[in-house]
Structure 1
Amino acid sequence: MDNWDDMRVFLAVARTESLSGAAPILKMDPATLGRRIARLERAMGAALFVKSPQGYALTDLGERIRDRAAEAETALTFAFDEGQGASAALTGQIRIGAPDGAASYLLPQVCAAIQAENPELEIQVLALPRVVNLSRREADMAIAVSPPAAGRLMVQKITDYHLHLATRADASPIRLRDDLKGRPIVGYIPDMIFDKELDYLGDLGAGGVQLASNSVAVQLQMLRHAGVGFVHDFILPFAPELRRVLTDQISLRRSFYLVRHMSDRQSDRLTRFAAALTKGLQAEVVRLEAGHA
């Protein structure tokens, strides 16, 4: 790779594993990216990706180059941070990985407020039904529901949040656990639960999930039509047609954690952004949960 632009193209495709995924990040069309990758591979005399209908997977050589390119990107970011100065407004691009509950119902308004104070800052939210891989630089930082136990990572607890069973407000009353019998249960697809903290129905002792999705947003839409399932208290203001049930009998508490790569501790820019993000998320959870306290 002769220049930084080649590195940006290579890293974006490597991280998203597709031309269509990298296109909006780089503000280039997929066809152009495909030509750039082909030209890069010709220049290097070797394949960097294995192409298939499922996307672009790195070859062994591609993985080695990705790791070196990510190190160079980190070094360049630190140099950029030094030039900004601690008092300057945040600029550049920052990507946050998050589970879709936080990504859909907390991060939009929190990130909008941060960006309004830093007009030249570009914030990207990567919503994934799995753990974000910071080692591969899929994101600059991630929100997790369990603190990771391995890796060179910095972990900071952001805040607790709560979940309760909910159903349509016009559904027949649920006053006892026995009233749940015969009602479809809404929840995660069991074999796609990527974190033990998302196994809500284990606390309920439910026999199965009749309406399931790996997406919190889809589960919410299901509950708007039928069934009963766990809903984050901070999401309920977005679904006024739902009501909490059995609140005195069944209540869950979980936590959000901010996870960053250990090497980023030297980045004043990312540290300042992380502080603003943490403060904003704490305040937003309190605000949204207040109506159901």
Structure 2
Amino acid sequence: MFTADHLRFFLEVSRHGRLNEASRALGVDHTTVGRRITSLEKAAGRRLFDRTPAGWRLTEAGHRLVGYAETVESTLVAAFEDQTSSVGSLTGSVRIAAPDGFGAFVLTPNLTTLRQAHPDLNVELVTATEHKTIDTREFDIAVTLEQPSPRFVVFRKLATYSLHLYATREYLESSPAVTKMDDLRDHTLIWYVGALLDVAPLRIFDSILADGRAQIQTNNITGHWLAARSGLGIAPLPSYIGEPDDSLVRVVAERFSIERTYWIAVPRELTGLARVKAVDELLSNVVAEHPHLTSGQ
């Protein structure tokens, strides 16, 4: 027979595609996961997964079941949250995933608002600018630079921002003049470690120099900012980092400006949770009030 517990096993296998990974998420042995799936398929009277060397893939019947299973999961989680939270205040934990720049320079300074409204809510902010952030789904709500796939998450556009080139006045005064983009060949450029950059919207170096490369590379945007403000060279930075810093000025401002988008993603089964809604509302308010972000709405 169908039970909520069987559906929980079904969902984890559908999300991970492998018994071993699903078993780790569930905290049980992989053979237990296999037995539960077999039992569920017998009750359904049809195969829900195709077992392949590359992993377990949902059949057409399995795809149809996912939506119903997520509705059950979401209802159970919301019911538990409702019974364990005080009226008007949230408890438990909420995990937010965000790119380094947005997480450190935009979200963190505004967490005070969330903390004041819900002092018993624990906030986990995981910052990383990498493609696998969404793929792992180890978050309650995420901000991402890449438009998510609608397969397992509900998403919307959060904001747009601009990237410009920044350096200190002292660096520019002691270095060759920069009046056009090609002049940047005579300068120290700062950017991500190319071999580790797997986020497509940030592969922008060809827009700076067609065959150029960064002489200073670090996989964290805080490192870009600190390197630029210390006079090490020129770095592309979001305007929300570069503009408030009085030690930095734009370089070839009229020739280089790139617009990028932030998206909000929430796993489908978590969209009804009050703590997720609270963070979503916070993010929308922060963007609406920020001078260097344009609301996606």
Counterpart-to-counterpart distance in 1, 2:238 and 2:158: 16
TM-score when normalising by structure 1: 0.69
Cα distance change, pair 236–267 in 1 and its aligned pair in 2 (3 A) = same
* Counterpart in the other structure of 1:149: 149
| Offset of residue 122 of structure 1 | 1.4
The amino acid across from 2:241 in the alignment is I
| Offset of residue 250 of structure 1 | 1.0
2:185 aligned to which of 174, 181, 184: 181
Where in structure 2 are the equivalents of 1:163-242 lying within 5 Å? 163-170=163-170, 171-172=172-173, 173-206=177-210, 207-223=212-228, 224-237=230-243, 239-242=245-248
* Counterpart in the other structure of 2:34: none
Cα distance change, pair 103–214 in 1 and its aligned pair in 2 (3 A) = same
What percent identity do the matched residue pairs reach?
A: 21
Unmatched tracts of structure 2, length 5 or more: 1-17, 29-69
Counterpart-to-counterpart distance in 1, 2:98 and 2:259: 18
The amino acid across from 1:147 in the alignment is Q
* Counterpart in the other structure of 1:52: none
* Counterpart in the other structure of 1:100: 100
Deviations 1:153-187 (A, max 9, x none): 11111111111111111223433224323101111
The amino acid across from 1:214 in the alignment is N
1:261 aligns to 2:267 (yes or no): yes
* Partners of 1:135 and 1:261 within 8 A in 2: no
| Offset of residue 131 of structure 1 | 3.1
The amino acid across from 2:209 in the alignment is G
Counterpart-to-counterpart distance in 2, 1:116 and 1:76: 28
Counterpart-to-counterpart distance in 2, 1:201 and 1:136: 27
SS in 1 for 2:157: strand
Cα distance change, pair 134–245 in 1 and its aligned pair in 2 (3 A) = closer
1:66 aligns to 2:24 (yes or no): yes
Cα RMSD for the two superposed structures: 3.0
TM-score when normalising by structure 2: 0.68
* Partners of 2:178 and 2:251 within 8 A in 1: yes
| Offset of residue 67 of structure 1 | 3.9
* Partners of 2:97 and 2:141 within 8 A in 1: yes
SS in 1 for 2:262: strand
| Offset of residue 132 of structure 1 | 4.9
Deviations 1:184-228 (A, max 9, x none): 111111121121101121211251111111110111122123221
Cα distance change, pair 61–253 in 1 and its aligned pair in 2 (3 A) = closer
Considering only CA atoms, is the larger Rg found in Structure 1 or Structure 2? 2
| Offset of residue 103 of structure 1 | 1.5
| Offset of residue 149 of structure 1 | 2.9
* Partners of 1:200 and 1:230 within 8 A in 2: no
| Offset of residue 238 of structure 1 | 5.4
Unmatched tracts of structure 1, length 5 or more: 1-59
Where in structure 2 are the equivalents of 1:18-57 lying within 5 Å? none
Where in structure 2 are the equivalents of 1:77-88 lying within 5 Å? 77-83=77-83, 88=88
* Partners of 1:96 and 1:126 within 8 A in 2: yes
Deviations 1:102-129 (A, max 9, x none): 1111111122222122212211110123
* Partners of 1:186 and 1:210 within 8 A in 2: yes
Counterpart-to-counterpart distance in 2, 1:126 and 1:149: 20
Counterpart-to-counterpart distance in 2, 1:61 and 1:177: 52
